[in-house]
Amino acid sequence: MTVAPYQSDLFKRCKEIYGFLSDCQRQATHDQHAKLANLTVPIRAVEPWLALQYLEDTYPIHFYYSTAQYTLLGLGITITQQTSGPNRFERMQQFVDVWKRRILSSNQSGPIIKPYFLCGFTFFDQTAVDSLFEAAQVFVPQLQIRQSNNQTTASLNYLIDDSVNITRIVEDIRRRLQTLETAAETANHHTSLSSALKTPKVIRDVGNFEKMVSSVLPTLNSPTLHKVVLADALDVLSASHFNIPASLKALGTAYSDCYVFSLSNGQGPVFMGASPERLLSITATADGKRLTTDALAGSAPRGNTSKTDQLIAKQLLSNPKERYEHQVVVEFIVEQLIQLGLKPEFADSPQLLQLANIQHLHTPIQAALPHSLKPLDLVKMLHPTPAVAGLPRLTASQLLKATESFDRELYASPIGWIDANGNSEFIVGIRSALIDGRQARLFAGAGIVAQSNPRRELAEVKLKLQALLGSLM
């Protein structure tokens, strides 16, 4: 096996790594609190989904987040915080703020990639006793792989206090990098996975969606509720265990214009999907921070021909019911941002967001951000939007709990990351599935207003469910 020069050089420089970690330990002892030691190394190019395929047994916990511009894979946990309740976003932001100040970084050639704080929240702020995921969890991974512009970089993160054995950590770094190097070489020689595409067997439609829609329509004729977004769930059984890395690859290929994501709980179950909806992104520049969020509501299928597709798109743009549903979301987001003292910028009319099998009305909304506003402050204000809950959202959320026959868990919830430099991105976990071995529960939703037709809404959610079903392997 040929070892890349930078890896060979890294192993020769264990003394330098030892010195860096010893300095971290001295600072931890002096300050009387632990430090987060962060070591960045370039690695052999490897697709992150392939890295997950070869490392998932070593790291039961993973977080996968992929866009057209970059892919982020977090494996294992160095530090973590979990909580629940109405103050969960504030508590998680405090955790991030404390540990951002405790990061000490070193690089072994190339730029420093500081730790990402990887975040997952359930839809509701309290979870059931048998819930598979915490109401709020933020963690820094042991191994972080980032691919962007055809460059792959790995970061290793260690908790350092006055009691750790630095020599053992250096040896652990050597082992982990050797494992990663071997995985990269093996993966790049086996770029196709052995798992064959399965045809899952649908067990049952859990939600009885058409009946649910009919049951809420009388409520929507009252002045107290304008819209509710009901979810449908489909239970699926496969002949053998679902292959998460292969499914991520398939989702990325089929829905390259979506956010492909996956989050495991370390005990088997995995929540994954391909979401078209960004909750927010924050970009930090020398001139300040910039927020972008999306109003995404109002849907129609794609046409089989170019002419049909254009006709459906034109009808969607002029459909009063779909335009009203979309405008409700725009107004909600704008109002929330104004309450934070921001000045939202957006177009008067929606655009079309055309995906592989469906198209949506879409209005991007932007604003300049003061440094005092933190990512999870914004997540709290925006989640859940009327696009996934309804309006007013408290009334709609109460109706969801009373109407839906299953636990949403992470469905339609904020999933994303915060870095140490002020950047952040969160998506809404829709078009998603909860995978557990051979079993999968698929989720999709539709916005219901007084003018809704139950049969048409059922057709919409079935279209969304089939898109995900076809990519599970």
Range of 347's domain? 201-469
Say if residue 247 is in the same domain as residue 157. Answer: no
Peptide bond into 392 cis (omega under 30): yes
Closest CA to 365 of 384, 351, 380, 377: 351
Residue percentage of the chain with pLDDT more than 90: 73
| Pairing, β 201-205 against β 227-237 | antiparallel
The last residue of a domain, from among 141, 165, 189: 189
Got the DSSP string for 275-290?
E--EEEEEEEETTEEE
Task: Answer whether residue 436 is part of any domain.
Answer: yes
Whether the pLDDT of residue 236 is over 50: the answer is: yes
Whether the pLDDT of residue 2 is over 50: the answer is: no
Burial category of 32 from C-beta neighbours within 10 Å (exposed 0-12, middle 13-18, buried 19 and up): exposed
Task: Answer whether residue 339 is part of any domain.
Answer: yes
Closest CA to 147 of 84, 67, 72: 72
Whether the pLDDT of residue 197 is over 70: the answer is: no
Say if residue 313 is in the same domain as residue 367. Answer: yes
Q: 88-100 and 375-382 are packed helices; what angle lies between their axes, rounded to 10 degrees?
A: 170
Say if residue 355 is in the same domain as residue 399. Answer: yes
Closest CA to 92 of 66, 111, 117: 117
Question: How many distinct structural domains can be found in the chain?
Answer: 2
* Cα angle 315, 321, 324; round to 5: 110
Task: Answer whether residue 205 is part of any domain.
Answer: yes
In this predicted model, what pLDDT tens digit does every residue of 350-408 receive, in sequence order?
999 998 889 999 999 999 999 899 999 999 999 999 999 999 999 999 999 999 989 99
- Four-point Cα dihedral 267, 269, 273, 275, nearest 10: -70
Got the DSSP string for 179-238?
HHHHHHHHHHH--S-SPPPP-PEEEEESS-HHHHHHHHHHHHTSTT-SEEEEEEEEEEE-
Is 349 in a helix, a strand, or coil? Answer: coil
Say if residue 125 is in the same domain as residue 254. Answer: no
Say if residue 179 is in the same domain as residue 211. Answer: no
Do the Cβ atoms of 51 and 117 come closer than 8 Å? no
Q: What is the mean pLDDT of the chain?
A: 91
| Most confident by average pLDDT, 72-86, 180-194, 198-212 | 72-86
Say if residue 150 is in the same domain as residue 261. Answer: no
The last residue of a domain, from among 127, 161, 189: 189
pLDDT confidence of residue 5: 45
Closest CA to 135 of 413, 462, 396, 350: 413
Say if residue 232 is in the same domain as residue 321. Answer: yes
Both structure tokens of 366: 């932007």
Do the Cβ atoms of 153 and 42 come closer than 8 Å? yes
Say if residue 365 is in the same domain as residue 454. Answer: yes
Q: First vs last Cα of the chain: how many Å apart?
A: 31
Say if residue 293 is in the same domain as residue 433. Answer: yes
Residue percentage of the chain with pLDDT more than 70: 94
Say if residue 151 is in the same domain as residue 278. Answer: no
Say if residue 109 is in the same domain as residue 79. Answer: yes
Do the Cβ atoms of 75 and 97 come closer than 8 Å? no
In whole angstroms, give the CA distance from residue 232 to residue 209. Answer: 6
More confident residue, 270 or 208: 270
Task: Answer whether residue 21 is part of any domain.
Answer: yes
Task: Answer whether residue 267 is part of any domain.
Answer: yes
- Helices and strands (DSSP H and E) totals, the chain: 12, 22
pLDDT confidence of residue 4: 46
In whole angstroms, give the CA distance from residue 29 to residue 17. Answer: 18
The last residue of a domain, from among 189, 220, 241: 189
Task: Answer whether residue 196 is part of any domain.
Answer: no
pLDDT confidence of residue 12: 64
Say if residue 150 is in the same domain as residue 265. Answer: no
Task: Answer whether residue 395 is part of any domain.
Answer: yes
| Active site (catalytic) residues | 227, 277
* Cα angle 388, 392, 393; round to 5: 40
Q: What's the pLDDT band for 182 if we cut at 50, 70, 90?
A: confident
Identity of the amino acid at 458: L
Task: Answer whether residue 122 is part of any domain.
Answer: yes
CA–centroid distance for 105 within its chain = 26
> Could you tell me the pTM of the whole model?
0.94
Do the Cβ atoms of 230 and 27 come closer than 8 Å? no
For the domain that residue 274 is a member of, what is the CATH number? 3.60.120.10
